Amino acid sequence: MSEHALSYRPEIDGLRAIAILPVVLYHAGLAAVSGGFVGVDVFFVISGYLITSIILAERRAGRFSLTNFYARRIRRIFPALFVMMAACYPVAFAVMGPVGMAEFAGSVTAATVFLANAFFYDISGYFATAAEVKPLLHTWSLAVEEQFYLVFPALVLLTWRMGARRQVMLFAVLAVLSLTLAQWDIAQGKADRAFFMLQTRLWELMAGALAAWWLASPRGAALRAGGRLRHGAIVGLALILFAVIGYDGETRFPGIAALPPVLGAVLVILCATQHSLAGRLLSLRPMVFVGLVSYSLYLWHVPLLAFTRIGTGHDDVALMLGVCAIAFALACLSWRYVERPIRRLQGVPAGRLFGTAALSMVLLGGLGLAGQKTDGYRAFYLEHRLDPVTRANVETFSPDATRGRVADDGCRFRDEIFSETFVTRFEACARQHGQAVFLLGDSHAENVYNALRSTELPPFFVLLSRGGCRPYQPKEKCSYDAAVAFAEERQDSISQLIFHVSGSHYILDHRGEGDSDAAFVPGVPLRIAENNIDRTAAYLARFPAALDVVWLGPFAEGRVDLDDLENYHPDRLRFNPTSLAHFDALDALLKARAAGQSAYRYISLVDALAFDEEALIQEGCLTFWDVDHFSPCGERLFGPVIAAALDGAPR
């Protein structure tokens, strides 16, 4: 029995179209659908509904088989996915450098065994800028579904004797626990785990499953057949649209924020019929067709967008929409020549089907492992893809292009939170040395700390920093509020409080996102998040007036992708000129905002460091280790300059 063997509902395919289109447009960078990622949540609900409907129908007919169930899943998921990954592998080899290729190969291995969600959770977040150039990032959701398929049918069979009512209660409790866990993770600053992992997404799939149980019950079937719920489908579509338009990358998601799209999808499933307005709209032939090709479209659009960004260095919406049109054409071909023929192969013996699937997994997984074991074919790349001068620069500079960390020393130490150890050590050092210089900020503050540690500093110098923490973006694991309270309680023990965070987060790309490589492409106009500057200034005003509060301005960032070994060519191994211009303008605005207020002093690192296009290489040192952080030798070079700027600024 296939999905279509259940009393076919064209409006479900229409709902698939409602799910896929926002996802595609969101990945293309269309600002109007800033919450388009919620389409994945709609897909989860649909999957839970369809799978449960199949299991219930076959179980009640006495012909449910786990072997047949998994055979259907293989025919449905494996062929199009594996064809896409096999096609992407040579493209990745052609356009990616060793670092990117090694990561891509790892994602192939993970996607082949349906652990892509764990893989991408380990290496990055879905909303990170670098996510835009990860060709297989979208396979995380397939991993979640496959993990669900592995455990859910067995749970249904094991609890079948409980009866439908108790089964529903059990799975409803599991759904509530999953939602609670997702919200807990978000509250604990573990939004990436909540986003990627099955245990925090299970409730969305279970929402669809519970809808299937309800429609399979006499009361549910009667209410739907009677049309008494038909207006609920419009409400459901409105809830989905609300999330698509109203959410963005800053939304604390999934958790409770995922309720509108999930409940919206449930309402459409429960209420949409051919006699309702929503049902008729969703059943229009264009909507149904988009729904039919939605799986292949989901598979193809992300790698095409990623490879285009990598290959062209451009990310403008018009180009990305053109790529999406190509992805749609490929999706139609994939649906017509891969999905449909293989899904119709009902007579293939299970052993042959499972054996073919296993062989395909071994071959693809082997390719992935080969790419990982060779560091993205690094030796081949260096030998055959780089000219001698560029290769020499790689060998000279890349070993130093790494993050540094200076060890704690006496009363010069750091932490990410006000731990008991930090507070105890601070108080002991205050008794010994008197007042501290206190540095507060994000990962760039750690750069400044390391740089200043290479100079003659006061003996009592402490850092409180955590990467990704900024005062205008409250997060559970960030300690900005605690820092104000700490300073109020111990202001007699602090001579100077220095605040420093990355400036690229105040500079926005065309989607309104900060810390984006797209904002530093040559010719891109400057957009500054002035509201975030205002929030930062308001935060600094909360510190005691008696403290010498210094906003140590952001330093200009190199904004050169040092993972791309082509950029080690002498013509490319230069400071990004667009970055220099943008940071000059940002610095001027920060100076203007600081004038005429007394809450803090502003010290310009743009002026102090005075970077030019030659600043990326100084005295034989590659001064940055990535697009925006100083390398260890860069820290040593810039430390005296930063110290002089702090000492020489008028109080």
Q: Could you give the domains of the chain?
A: 3-382 (no CATH), 398-648 (3.40.50.1110)
> Residue 80 pLDDT more than 90?
yes
Q: What is the mean pLDDT of residues 484-489?
A: 96
Q: What is the mean pLDDT of residues 462-473?
A: 91
For 241, the 3-state DSSP assignment is helix
- Can you give the pLDDT at residue 129? 53
- Can you give the pLDDT at residue 649? 63
pLDDT confidence band for 5 (50 / 70 / 90): very low
pLDDT-wise least confident of 165-169, 205-209, 358-362: 165-169
292-313 tens-digit pLDDT: 999 999 999 999 999 999 988 8
Between the CA of residue 631 and those of 258, 569, 618, 626, what are the distances in Å? 40, 19, 12, 8
- Can you give the pLDDT at residue 128? 56
Which residue in the block uniquely carries the two structure tokens 């799978």? 51
Q: What is the mean pLDDT of residues 352-367?
A: 94
State the Cα–Cα distance between residues 18 and 42, nearest whole angstrom: 8
What is the chain's percent helix, strand, coil content, to nearest 5? 65, 5, 30
| Residue 135 or residue 509, greater confidence | 135
Q: What is the mean pLDDT of residues 154-169?
A: 89
The letter for the amino acid at 25 is L
- Can you give the pLDDT at residue 488? 95
Q: Under the phi-then-psi rule, with left for phi > 0, alpha for psi from -120 to 50, and beta for the rest, what region is 525?
A: beta
For 502, the 3-state DSSP assignment is coil
Q: What is the mean pLDDT of residues 547-561?
A: 96
State the Cα–Cα distance between residues 199 and 254, nearest whole angstrom: 12
> Residue 126 pLDDT more than 70?
no
- Can you give the pLDDT at residue 37? 95
Q: What is the mean pLDDT of residues 361-384?
A: 95
Percent of the chain with pLDDT over 70: 96
Give ∠ CA 169-254-177 in degrees, rounded to 5: 25
Backbone φ, ψ for residue 463 (5° rounding): -130, 135
- Can you give the pLDDT at residue 2? 41
- Can you give the pLDDT at residue 3? 44
The radius of gyration computed from the CA coordinates of the chain, to the nearest angstrom, equals 28
| Prediction pTM value | 0.84
> Residue 219 pLDDT more than 50?
yes
Q: What is the mean pLDDT of residues 161-185?
A: 93
Joined tokens for residue 122: 């380990």
State the Cα–Cα distance between residues 136 and 140, nearest whole angstrom: 8
With a CB cutoff of 8 Å and minimum separation 6, the contacts of 133 are 100, 306, 309, 310
Handedness of CA 59, 62, 63, 65 (dihedral sign): positive
- In residues, how long is the chain? 651
- Can you give the pLDDT at residue 62? 84
> Residue 1 pLDDT more than 60?
no
Q: What is the mean pLDDT of residues 46-59?
A: 93
Element (H, E) at 198: helix 198-216
List residues bridging with 602 in a β-sheet. 551
> Residue 631 pLDDT more than 70?
yes
- Can you give the pLDDT at residue 357? 93
pLDDT confidence band for 518 (50 / 70 / 90): confident
- Can you give the pLDDT at residue 401? 65
Joined tokens for residue 423: 């507070």
